[in-house]
Amino acid sequence: MMDDFLIRALAAGIGVALVAGPLGCFVVWRRMAYFGDTMAHASLLGVALSLLLAVNLALTVFVVATLSSLALYALERRRTLPIDTLLGILAHSTLALGLVLVALMDWVRVDLLSYLFGDILAVGVTDIWIIWVGGAAVLGLLAFIWRPLLAATVSEELAEAEGLKPQRARVLFMLALALTIAIAMKVVGILLITSLLIIPAATARRFAATPEQMALLAAGIGTAAVAGGIGGSFVWDTPTGPSIVVAALLAFLLSLAAPGERAIR
């Protein structure tokens, strides 16, 4: 029989993987990997503010990640600086602010490693409910914006001409990404969440013939990586969050050796 903490870890990890896979497809298609990293780094500032104000962690991380993404969206539309420069400024400044705030709160004991690399074995029933309810909200939002976001990925001008409101879809996608980071932080941590978005989607891209197939495959590959990572962590006594990412990486490397590539162009 499996221990209760392993069952809870599997339930939490699978819940995150089912959301991160389809969402990560758009991160890969739209070349937004660095954007995902920026929002993940900004979440450490959310952690610091949550400890400082004694408010709910997931809610604070979601608010900070959302505000950061909206600020980036506004700055990008002003075209004052290239997008990669804005991402670099926002990612490193929010991460540094979070670390400074945590260092100043000497009355609070903080295990930074659990926030940076996750602590999936410590999730409770409440955490699982947050992950699955939040994940259902993300998938519902993604289903709502799927068509306009997919059309804008191919051609934003064409999507605009067809009245699909690609800018609104992009803002809602940012909100979905912020919510995913907030609920996934405890599973793989701030520094590794982007890998769970990107690696399963990149692996699925080699075998999917349609966007919908790629989304389903990415969710399945992410789920297998969670199960493999938790199992490997239990057997070899390795950190669980990084072990999940390593399992996803192994799946990607195996996919490179597999014949019959059908990557979506």
Count up the domains in the chain and report the number.
1
Please state the φ and ψ torsions of residue 50, each to the nearest 5 degrees.
-65, -40
CATH code of 59's domain:
1.10.3470.10
Mean per-residue pLDDT for 99-113?
83
Q: Which two tokens stand for residue 157?
A: 């001008």
Looking at the domain assignment, is residue 181 inside a domain? Answer: yes
Looking at the domain assignment, is residue 138 inside a domain? Answer: yes
27: containing domain: 4-190
Question: How many whole angstroms separate alpha carbon 205 and alpha carbon 192?
Answer: 20
Q: Is the pLDDT assigned to residue 177 strictly greater than 70? A: yes
| Digit-coded pLDDT (tens) for 134-150 | 999 999 999 999 999 99
Looking at the domain assignment, is residue 95 inside a domain? Answer: yes
Neighbour tally for 122: CB within 10 Å:
15
Looking at the domain assignment, is residue 228 inside a domain? Answer: no
The kind and range of the H/E element at 161 are: helix 156-161
In Å, how far are 14, 29, 180, 245 from 249, measured between CA atoms?
17, 19, 20, 6
- Threshold 0.85, pTM exceeds: yes
| Digit-coded pLDDT (tens) for 43-73 | 989 999 998 888 888 899 999 999 988 888 8
